[in-house]
Amino acid sequence: MFVNATTLEKLTLQATDGEMGKIKDLYFDESSYTIRYLTFESKKWFPDQVIYLSPSAVEEVDLEKQLITVNHSRDELSEGAGVKEEAEMTPEREEELASRMNWSQYWVQQEKRGDETSSLGTAGPKTQQNRQLRSINHLKGIFNRANVVAEDGIVGPISDAVIEIDSWNVRYFQVDCGTWSTHPLALISPDWITDTEWDEGRFRVDLTLNEIEEGPIYKKGDPITREFELKLYQNYKKSFYWT
């Protein structure tokens, strides 16, 4: 199931003992573009705290009921997963939270892959200092959005992220391209990014503007079906992620 980040932000988080509020932001790790944390606040339940929640604690995302059900109580989250500021999240803090809350330690597999890569003679993500979380909201911010850049020009700013809930992967970035294209939006996979300039907010892809213009039309709210994805990948001459 694909869900836009802006849609997830409208859903209510449901603990084992009641509602907790709505998502404030989503954080992904820059090496895999996988969502690692949902953050949320509530003056009523979590005063002066930002709560971090691992997707491994999410039991269900119910779009019909507008609920995200988690397997913790409010007290468990308040006592175990709260920080004063979002900037306080560090690799050491991640390990502490995962141990305390019994969350998935995603970096273990990453480090194993890094060791395997290193054994082939290529540097891999061997230490915890290599882990870097990035904010979805910082990419699709109201005043300062990250831009996707093609081989021959700017595609446009990122306005949303499309998340595959089964894996919590950021499957596509939704890019506004209506200023130059007959398409209002373009879907750009992180797999197609060849270079990232995080400080400048630029993502470079190995596509031309003409290739994007000739691709299948995607409009806001359109369902992303496998049929559409086949057309998208075939038009852009990209390898399928699902094979």
Token output for 80? 């175990």
Supply the pTM of this predicted model. Answer: 0.90
Q: Which residues pair with 163 in a beta bridge?
A: 3, 170
Q: Where are the domains of the chain?
A: 2-111, 140-236
- Domain pair 2-111 / 140-236, same fold: no
Q: Are the beta carbons of 50 and 86 closer than 8 angstroms?
A: yes
| 140-236 placed in CATH 3.90.50.10 | yes
Class of domain 2-111: mainly beta
The helix (run of H) or strand (run of E) holding residue 233 is helix 226-236
The strand pair at 202-205 and 147-150 is best described as parallel
The tens place of each residue's pLDDT in the chain, 243 residues long, gives 999 999 999 999 999 999 998 999 999 999 999 999 999 988 888 888 889 999 999 999 999 999 999 999 999 998 888 888 776 688 898 999 999 999 999 998 765 555 444 444 544 444 444 689 999 999 998 668 899 999 999 999 999 999 999 999 999 999 999 999 999 999 999 999 999 999 999 999 999 999 999 999 999 999 999 999 999 999 999 999 998
Token output for 60? 């269900």
Q: Are the beta carbons of 206 and 151 closer than 8 angstroms?
A: yes
